[in-house]
Amino acid sequence: MTDAVIAGIGESKIGKVPEMTTLGLIVDASLKAIEDAGLTAHDIDGIILHPAFHMSPRYHIIVSETLGIYVKTLADTEMAGGASYGLALERAKQAVESGLCKNVLLVGGEKLATGHLSGSAMMASVGAHNLDWEYPYGATIPSYYGLLAQRYFHETGATEADLAEIAVMVRRHASRNPLATYRDEITVDDVLNSPVISSPLHRLDCSLVSDGATAYVVSARGASKDPKREVEFLGIGQAQSYYHMGQLAEGSMDGKHDLVRTVVDIAGDRAFGQAGISRDDVDVAMIYDSFTITVAVQLEDLGFAERGGAGAFVREHGDLGGKLPINTHGGLLSFAHPGASGGMMSFAEAVRQLRGEAQGRQVDDAEIALVTSASAVASNFTVSILGASRA
């Protein structure tokens, strides 16, 4: 069986990009990833795409057509919100290792900032948990995360200031990234004094609304132009619980999981088991940060931070030079968040760190990276552990 690797990555322009269409952003990122791997579009025989929320589920065919990719042995969409590309990555890995494909392109993009269906209203209509009984009464994505944060505070004794530490840390990383949307450093008071979006979450607790696209190519080991830049798969895990918040809050029958005790621990245990490493072996982490509360529950459920201690953990250990630098590109909170594909940018940053190419924010001697993806508030997670090339 052939080992699969991430051979190339590419990102489009991000932020507000009114001059480009969604398709243009996706094609731009795809071509950059293919070029980064030292391949051509004709070398691609598999494609997995998360279509923009307002696009056809067959959008991968349109993207392939535009790129001139004619024959594919794997062509599909992955529609699982922010968790899509953790799932797609495992599927691409399996396709290459089984011999089904030689080079699989994973790509996604969205125009949430300037598209014709842009903004939070569109996101709410696809992200609200119950379109019959909740969405008509004003339930939005931030309101669900606000409920999650309220319950988290009740159970752990953590505070709004603890969540603010996460926003401060991520923005500090973004200040080192010339491509980040927001680069001015902020304080805990800045977060607490920003407008309340859905109590107890403030504006600076919430991710951005952006245009952009990201792509990467999964290939057989040694297929790229420079095997020393190939990033290896060490372990991948996925776990899903309930979708609707009422059922999620009731918890599992064994009493181990509920709204604030997520199943990301199951995904993490599987990934760490495959990799044969411990939490202490991770050099850098990209934790899906749709909201600050999303980071908090994942850090604690994965065993990096004590219960209720995520804020203190990131303050003490999350910066460059710390025990676990987190979201070194600025994450969804400060770098960019173009819909579900925003999580792909975390994988791209992990690849840069493992290649030693994260200029200005490089983690010294980074050899192992952990990347999470999440969707449906607190019910669907993937954990991927990547390693630097052994070539």
Q: Strands 196-198 and 201-202: what pairing?
A: antiparallel
What is the CATH number for 13?
3.40.47.10
Q: What are phi and psi of 255, to 5 degrees?
A: 75, 10
The pLDDT tens digits for 246-280 are 788 888 888 899 999 999 999 999 999 999 999 99
- Return per-residue pLDDT of the chain as tens, 391 residues: 689 999 999 999 999 999 999 999 999 999 999 999 999 999 999 999 977 666 666 788 889 999 999 878 998 887 777 777 888 899 999 999 999 999 999 999 999 898 865 555 555 555 556 777 777 777 788 989 999 999 999 999 999 999 999 999 999 999 999 999 999 999 999 999 999 999 999 999 999 999 999 999 999 999 999 999 999 999 999 999 988 887 888 888 888 999 999 999 999 999 999 999 999 999 999 999 999 999 999 999 999 999 999 999 999 999 999 999 999 999 999 999 998 788 899 999 999 999 999 999 999 999 999 999 998 888 899 999 999 998 7
d(CA 289, CA 332): 6
Residue 261 CA, chain-centre distance (Å), reads 20
Q: Domain span at residue 41?
A: 4-116+210-220
Q: What pLDDT is recorded for position 272?
A: 98
Q: CA separation (Å) from 4 to 85, 90, 147, 219? A: 16, 10, 40, 6
Would 308 be classed as within a structural domain?
Answer: no
Q: What pLDDT is recorded for position 208?
A: 95
Would 315 be classed as within a structural domain?
Answer: no
Among candidates 49, 79, 370, 86, which has minimal Cα distance to 239? 86
Which residue type is seen at 184?
D
Would 141 be classed as within a structural domain?
Answer: no
Residue 34 CA, chain-centre distance (Å), reads 21
Would 177 be classed as within a structural domain?
Answer: no
CA torsion, points 94, 226, 31, 171, in degrees to nearest 10?
Answer: 90
Q: What pLDDT is recorded for position 243?
A: 83
Would 288 be classed as within a structural domain?
Answer: no
Would 186 be classed as within a structural domain?
Answer: no
Q: What pLDDT is recorded for position 70?
A: 87
Q: What pLDDT is recorded for position 60?
A: 86
Residue 34, token pair as written in the block: 């293919």
- Which strands form 46-50's sheet, in the order they lie side by side? 74-77, 46-50, 103-111, 211-220, 4-11, 231-240, 380-387, 368-375, 284-286
d(CA 307, CA 260): 10
H/E element, 95: helix 84-98
Instruction: Let me know: does 45 contact 37? Beta carbons within 8 Å.
Output: no
Would 100 be classed as within a structural domain?
Answer: yes
d(CA 224, CA 8): 8
d(CA 347, CA 286): 8
Q: What pLDDT is recorded for position 129?
A: 66
How many domains does the chain fold into? Answer: 1
Q: What pLDDT is recorded for position 342?
A: 86
- At residue 358's C-alpha, the angle toward residues 338 and 183, to 5°, is 55
d(CA 211, CA 118): 9
End-to-end CA distance of the chain: 18
Would 269 be classed as within a structural domain?
Answer: no
Q: Is residue 319 classed exposed, middle or buried when 0-12, 13-18 and 19+ CB atoms within 10 A define those classes?
A: middle
